[in-house]
Amino acid sequence: GKYYLNKYHFRSLINHYIDLAKHGQMKISIKEFLTMLAANKFEQQAERIKEYYDLMISQDFLPNSPTMMNAGARLGQLSACFVLAMPDDMEKIMKSSSDAALIFKSGGGVGINYSELRPEGDMVASTSGVASGPVSFMNIINTVTEVVKQGGKRRGANMGIIEAWHPDIEKFITAKTKPGVLENFNVSVGVWEDFWEALVNSSDGKYVLRSPLDKSPVREVNAHHLIDLISLSAWKSAEPGLIFFDIINKYNVFAKARGAPLRATNPCGEQSLYPYESCNLGSINLANFVKRKADGQYEFDWQRYEETIRKTTRFLDNVIDVNNYPIPEINQASKDSRRIGLGVMGVADL
């Protein structure tokens, strides 16, 4: 059916227009806009708009929270998930921290691999001092998260990753067993084939920890000790998780184009991303696709489910183009790779 504007809809429409126009985001006057609206100039888009509206109002599908909160608002940042780099350089560390603050402000969360940072106690030639280690720099992002609410509405979320070969790996594994530490982080140990080989095939479990600067050996540990430490810490505090970078990169379709492996995920781990990429998430409500047959039995409506997948995939891809990204690097990387994540919800209600 048709959707008619009542006075409350109209007032909201005008307020949105005024807010957007005030910040230079409307290319036509309010008179032209309303004239076009009255003349059905948006008729071509109307069918698809109604299609998406019906999907959401029926709760067949919902996009991620930033899309729900920021669409039509001046902020206009619609993505939930981002990945940033963390090079072993103080200026770049502070740049990433600043970028993270802008992402949190706009409603997103951040994943970062801290493995490039030199371990605690390493010499720093430029200052003749010693490094404080990657866990200490995670505390910077943790504090930024604490004070900058997502889109002014909620606190942000982070994924902190250190790979198993890093000399500070034990400190990282046990970091969250202490109350109040890195409370705005999920933390995960990144593992590759060499870790599993040491764990399964090596008689003594010998595993070499390496310098992040030149990959030279630093010391040896027992892989069995590391997996036991991970298990004990996860039992105590539900952290850390494990990220199987060997498997992720086996199926990485961007490996050749990017010339590098994937080494980070978004805060909840659904999507592996390169630095400065973002992804838009959405979920289809499976419970809504169960229908009752004439004989009283229930069945899953696979045809409507397939149609909904096609529509919502297009929806999430469209978000990439209309999104207002928090920094230019993210704008470019996101449009280059066009990452989306369509999942399901309502499984328990089936």
Please give the positions annotated as active site.
Answer: 266, 268, 270
Q: Rounded to an integer, what distance in angstroms lies between the CA atom of residue 263 and that of residue 161?
A: 9
Q: How many residues does the chain have?
A: 350
Q: What is the DSSP letter of 174?
A: H
Please give the C-alpha separations between residue 147 and each of 154, 245, 286, in angstroms, as whole numbers.
10, 32, 37
Q: Which three-class secondary structure state does DSSP give residue 338?
A: coil
- 3-state SS of 215-268? CCEEEEEEHHHHHHHHHHHHHHHCCCEEEEHHHHHHCCCCHHHHCCCCCCECCC
Please give the structure tokens belonging to residue 90: 């103080």
In order, the DSSP letters of 126-143 are TTTEE---HHHHHHHHHH
Helices in the chain by DSSP H: which ranges?
A: 7-22, 30-38, 43-57, 65-70, 90-106, 134-147, 169-174, 193-200, 223-237, 245-250, 255-258, 302-322, 328-337
Report yes or no: 72 and 14 within 8 Å, Cβ to Cβ. Answer: no
Please give the structure tokens belonging to residue 129: 């001092």
In sequence order, the 6+-apart residues with CB closer than 8 A to the CB of 350 are 286, 287, 290, 300
The residues with which 344 forms a beta bridge, in sequence order, are 284
In sequence order, the 6+-apart residues with CB closer than 8 A to the CB of 95 are none
Burial class (CB in 10 A: 0-12, 13-18, 19+), 320: buried
Please give the C-alpha separations between residue 341 and each of 63, 162, 314, in angstroms, as whole numbers.
10, 24, 12
